[in-house]
Amino acid sequence: MQDFVNQLKDALIKSSLELDSSVINLIKKAKEREEKELSKNSKASLVVLNSILENLELSKKTKIPMCQDTGMFDVFVDIGRDNKNSLATIEKAIIKSCTLASEEGNFRKSVVSEPVFDRVNTKTNLPPIITYNIIDGDELTVRVLLKGFGSENCCGVKMLNPTAAKEGVVEAVLDIVKTAGGKPCPPICVGIGLGGTMERAAYLSKRALIRDFDKENLDKRYIELEEEILRKINDTKIGSGGFGGVTTALFVNIEQEPTHIAGLPLAVSINCWADRKAQITYRGKIDD
């Protein structure tokens, strides 16, 4: 078990210190666009982007998390039908990995044991939120979002009428993003879930956030919809830090699945620029 635990723990700590190079490139491109349009926009947005890039360098150098809100562990487990590990073993290993990452990575203790009345801090940053998904094959892939709540509080679900169509989807997403404004620390990353039921749409929106950057949407129509929504979000001019400018969102990903004839569930999950994701793929028995 220790091999799995160490791999996931190390990935979690690294994700709190370093962004994926593809995300950093998107931030750099946002800075370049802001510099070209500087005469038309707030200089503050450019200051924000420069500060983000400086912060990332300092985080990597000093081994201090890039954001004080190191987030909740939002865990997505894809387990092959032929995988030999029990869910109990997988869960135990994930919890141990998260525990060690919190301790060794100096993660802020941000979880309360009950949401409404006592709200007592667990002082462990646990428990993690774990969702299991059955896939073909024998692989085990664990993906984790370090989900800060500045952005999580700005997520939203809308149950649209089936007649809403593409135009209604775009309008609903823009409404959620405009309502969020500068609160989720833009430039933001946007995951959209469409279809299923209310809770499945929310799940799909998180799956959209963790989709690998080198994997395009399999449906050309949804690629075009992602591009349209990204363009219209950036046209809002909310801008980096909420100070105006040409970049409000870095990317938009959509995941969709079948739904009922009478509905069109839509969910939007937002990450701030600190798009912190950890992933490992493990083969073999965890407890060997």
pLDDT tens figures, 76-88: 999 999 999 999 9
Peptide bond into 128 cis (omega under 30): no
Question: Has residue 157 been placed in a domain?
Answer: yes
pLDDT tens figures, 136-165: 999 999 999 999 999 999 999 999 999 999
Question: Has residue 112 been placed in a domain?
Answer: no
Give me the mean pLDDT over the 5-15 stretch.
97
Question: Has residue 65 been placed in a domain?
Answer: no
Buried b or exposed e, range 136-157, using 16+ CB within 10 angstroms: eeeebbbbbbbbbebbbebbbb
- Residue 191 structural domain: 149-271
Q: Which residue has the tokens 């405009």?
A: 178
CA–CA distance, 166 with 94 (Å, rounded to integer) = 39
Question: Has residue 183 been placed in a domain?
Answer: yes
Has residue 40 got a pLDDT over 90?
Answer: no
Question: Has residue 76 been placed in a domain?
Answer: no
Question: Has residue 104 been placed in a domain?
Answer: no
Question: Has residue 61 been placed in a domain?
Answer: no
pLDDT tens figures, 191-218: 999 999 999 999 999 999 999 877 889 8
pLDDT tens figures, 174-184: 999 999 999 99
Question: Has residue 195 been placed in a domain?
Answer: yes
Share of the chain above pLDDT 70, in %: 98
Give the pLDDT of residue 287. 83
Domain CATH code at residue 213: 3.30.1330
Q: How many separate domains does the chain show?
A: 1
CA–CA distance, 288 with 275 (Å, rounded to integer) = 33
